[in-house]
Every structure is written in structure tokens, then in C-alpha cells.
């Protein structure tokens, strides 16, 4: 009897879900009017066209579906869509021209204190903030394309911005031209997967005070400074691609005050510094490829219990840089293309340790003009002498088991 009653209730509620259509020859001429008339569970379908909606507020659990990407234009004055209800879906719109303010964080789509919100298949152009989650929980942001043409940080917000949110899924979005491509602050238990973040002014991805998150299989290319992970713990960074992040303060990844995290199976190519670590503790860097970077890894003396093992170091100007003589980190079984040792017992590991910090790199870091002598005979002589009789480079910063061949990563 209880089962029959439950089935009856579901059918009864489902039978009252409606489809409301918006368009020139449809019952509703504006999206605002259709949303106002909708009830929880209804679907509002918007036909192709241009709609000037003054901050469309969704306070009901509805599906808002666009056909052929109808345009919602905020006329550079308003927020496009404000989501203030659980269980909302926004699918298939072109949102453009949000307002710009130094006081209000206008966004193309802003989620306010809501859960189970889905934002998929949208195109966002010329927005201050693209998609903004404030106290969002279990929200999905997927397959959106966000582009802006910001000229400086002050005039631009972030592409996808999450603040004090939990269990977010940021999947397969394309973001360019913003301050930061993706920004997390006080965000936990969330995943950033298969996104492409490029040509952003500051960072492709920016983490602040965000714990137990993962970013996997993303591409961060040609951003001002790549990725910053700061004041966080339990972060998993797997299978990402960091490329062409050049500049005086540019990195593939900046690690600052980060603990108990993993950096595995990533590819770093053509970055000023592939990884810059300061105040990092208990970090495992494993099976990464560092190729053709200025510095592969700069690991400052404030770092401890950082382990680098089974990585490939290929064609980097300098493999490792540091600013102190005290080394509390471990290097083991990496492949270094500058290693000149031998393997008499043919076990695949060098018989003498490799010291990846060169004297010249330490001098160049403190006195950049000496780079004019790079690849000269005198610098080679200095480095070879330092390896035989270490004086300035950290004596215990070494790989005791360097690999003779690169790993198939």
C-alpha cells in the first residue's frame, strides 16, 4: 500500500510539471516573465533571440534551457542571472555585457547560497565575473566557454570564481582573458577536471585556503603566472599540462604554505620556473616531466619533507634552484639529462650521485646580468669544479640513485 501511495504521489507531482516557452510567437515575450510564472519543477525554454533582462533572478527549482544559444544581455549595468534556489539548471545560453563595479561582483551567472545547481553548455562573453559561486554546495559547472578581454587586474573579475563552497565540480570549461581563469577561496572537497585555461592576466588557476581538492587533466598555457596553490592542504594535482608561462614572476605552479599534497604525472614545458615552492611541507612530486624550462624546480630553504622521485628533467636551463644550504628534502631515482656519471653494474642507476644545483645557477639568481656568460667555458669550468669540491652549493642536495635513461612518462 505504501509503495502504491508513493508511486501515485510521484505521478501526481510529475503531471503538474510544465514547459513554459519564451520567444516572439510564444506565450512569454521575456525570460523574466516566464520565470515569474514558473513553479518548482517546471522547464522554461527560450528560443533564439536577444533578450535584455535586468538581472534575471531565479528563486525556484527550475530548468532554464536555451535553444541555439539565445542571448541574455545585461547592457553593462546588471548581473545576467542570479540563482537563489536549490536544484536550478541553466543550459545553453550566450550571456554577455555584465556590469563592472569595484564594489559589487557582477557575474554572468551567480549562485547565492544554493546547492545542486547545474550550469552547462553556456557561452559567456565580456563578463566582469563569469560564473560565481558563493556558498554553493554540490554544484556542476561544465562545458562552458568563457572569454573576456581584460587589460588589467582591476578591471576584470575571474572566469570561474568559487568562494566558501563545497563539493564543486568544474569540468571541461574553456576560460580566457580574465584576471584568474579559475579561482578557489575556502573551497573544499571539489574537483577541477579537463579545463583549458589560457591567456589570463594573472593565474590560470588560483587556490587560496582550499583543502582536500583535486585538479586533474587540465591545460594551463600562456597565463601571467600559471597556477598558484597557497595556504592549502590535501591538494591533488594530477595529469595537468603547464606550458608557456613566462615572465619575471611566472611559474608553472607556485606553491606557498602548502602541506600534505601530491603533484604527479604532470607535464611542465617552457615555463620560467616550472615549480616554485616556498613553505611547502610533505609534498610528493612524482613521475612529472620538466622540459625546456628556465628553472625546473626552485625549492626554497623554507621547504621540508618534499620528495622528488621518478621525474624526467630534460633540456632545462637549470634543473634545481635553492636559496639556502640546509636541505630537508629528498631527491631519488630521477632522470637528469645533464648527468655525466656511469653505470658499471648495469642496474639502470648511476653509480655516483648527481648534484642538480649548479654554482652558476646560484650566482645567476642573485646577479641576473651574469646570464650573458651562459654556456661559456668559464661557467662550465666553475660548475665542474663545484661538483668535485662543493663550496657554495648544498652538499646534501643530491640524487643518490640517478637514472641512466628517461622514464616512459
Please give the sequence-ordered ranges of beta strands (E in DSSP) within 17-102, or none if there are none.
Answer: 19-22, 43-46, 50-51, 56-58, 63-66, 71-73, 81-83, 89-91, 94-96
Mean pLDDT (the chain, rounded) = 90
pLDDT class of 373 with cuts at 50, 70, 90: low
At CA 251, angle to CA 392 and CA 401, rounded to 5?
50
pLDDT class of 5 with cuts at 50, 70, 90: very low
Provide the grid cell at 3: 509503495
| pLDDT at site 388 | 56
Q: What does the longest C-alpha to C-alpha distance in the chain come to? A: 91
| pLDDT at site 11 | 45
What are the DSSP calls for 323-364, one per residue? S-S----EEES-EETT-----TT-SSB-SS-B----HHHHHH
d(CA 121, CA 107) in angstroms, rounded, equals: 17
User: Quick one: what percent of the chain has pLDDT higher than 70?
Assistant: 87
pLDDT class of 82 with cuts at 50, 70, 90: very high
302-325 pLDDT per residue, tens: 999 999 999 999 999 899 988 877
Domain ranges across the chain: 43-356, 358-393
At CA 216, angle to CA 211 and CA 221, rounded to 5?
105
pLDDT class of 365 with cuts at 50, 70, 90: low
Least confident of 5-14, 176-185, 346-355: 5-14
pLDDT class of 6 with cuts at 50, 70, 90: very low
Least confident of 234-248, 271-285, 373-387: 373-387
* DSSP structural state of residue 86: T
- Considering the four listed CATH numbers 3.20.20.60, 1.10.10.60, 2.160.20.10, 3.90.45.10, the one that applies to the domain covering 43-356 is 2.160.20.10
User: Quick one: what percent of the chain has pLDDT higher than 90?
Assistant: 76
Rounded-to-10 torsion of CA 160, 163, 168, 171: 10
pLDDT class of 149 with cuts at 50, 70, 90: confident
pLDDT class of 38 with cuts at 50, 70, 90: very high
Amino acid at each position: 500500500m505504501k509503495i502504491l501511495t508513493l508511486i501515485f504521489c510521484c505521478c501526481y507531482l510529475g503531471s503538474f510539471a510544465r514547459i513554459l516557452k519564451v520567444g516572439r510567437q510564444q506565450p512569454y515575450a521575456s525570460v523574466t516573465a516566464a520565470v515569474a510564472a514558473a513553479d518548482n519543477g517546471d522547464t522554461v525554454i527560450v528560443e533564439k533571440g536577444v533578450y535584455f533582462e535586468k538581472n534575471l533572478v531565479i528563486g525556484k527549482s527550475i530548468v532554464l534551457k536555451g535553444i541555439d544559444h539565445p542571448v541574455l544581455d545585461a547592457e553593462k549595468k546588471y548581473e545576467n542571472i542570479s540563482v537563489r534556489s536549490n536544484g536550478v539548471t541553466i543550459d545553453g545560453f550566450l550571456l554577455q555585457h555584465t556590469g563592472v563595479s569595484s564594489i559589487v561582483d557582477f557575474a554572468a551567472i551567480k549562485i547565492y547560497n544554493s546547492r545542486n545547481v547545474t550550469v552547462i553548455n553556456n557561452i559567456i562573453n565580456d563578463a566582469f565575473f563569469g560564473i560565481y559561486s558563493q556558498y554553493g554546495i554540490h554544484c556542476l559547472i561544465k562545458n562552458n566557454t568563457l572569454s573576456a578581454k581584460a587589460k588589467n587586474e582591476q578591471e576584470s573579475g575571474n572566469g570561474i570564481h568559487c568562494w566558501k563552497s563545497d563539493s564543486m565540480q568544474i569540468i571541461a570549461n574553456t576560460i580566457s582573458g580574465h584576471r584568474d581563469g579559475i579561482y578557489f577561496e575556502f573551497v573544499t572537497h571539489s574537483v577541477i577536471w579537463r579545463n583549458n585555461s589560457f591567456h589570463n592576466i594573472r593565474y590560470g588557476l588560483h587556490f587560496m585556503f582550499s583543502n582536500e581538492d583535486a585538479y586533474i587533466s587540465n591545460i594551463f598555457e600562456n597565463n601571467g603566472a600559471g597556477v598558484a596553490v597557497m595556504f592549502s592542504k590535501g591538494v591533488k594535482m594530477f595529469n595537468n599540462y603547464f606550458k608557456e608561462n613566462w615572465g619575471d614572476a611566472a611559474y608553472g605552479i607556485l606553491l606557498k604554505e602548502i602541506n600534505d599534497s601530491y603533484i604527479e604525472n604532470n607535464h611542465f614545458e617552457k615555463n620560467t620556473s616550472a615549480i616554485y615552492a616556498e613553505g611547502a611541507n610533505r609534498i610528493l612530486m612524482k613521475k612529472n616531466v620538466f622540459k625546456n624550462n628556465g628553472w625546473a624546480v626552485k625549492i626554497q630553504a623554507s621547504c621540508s619533507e618534499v620528495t622528488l622521485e621518478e621525474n624526467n628533467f630534460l633540456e632545462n636551463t637549470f634543473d634545481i634552484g635553492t636559496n639556502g644550504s640546509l636541505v630537508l628534502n629528498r631527491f631519488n631515482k630521477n632522470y637528469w639529462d645533464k648527468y655525466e656519471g656511469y653505470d658499471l653494474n648495469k642496474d639502470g642507476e648511476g653509480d655516483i650521485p648527481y648534484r642538480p644545483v649548479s654554482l652558476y645557477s646560484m650566482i645567476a639568481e642573485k646577479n641576473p646580468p651574469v646570464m650573458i656568460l651562459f654556456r661559456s667555458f668559464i661557467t662550465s669550468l666553475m660548475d665542474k669544479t663545484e661538483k668535485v669540491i662543493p663550496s657554495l652549493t648544498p652538499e646534501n642536495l643530491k640524487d643518490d640513485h640517478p637514472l641512466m635513461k628517461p622514464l616512459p612518462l
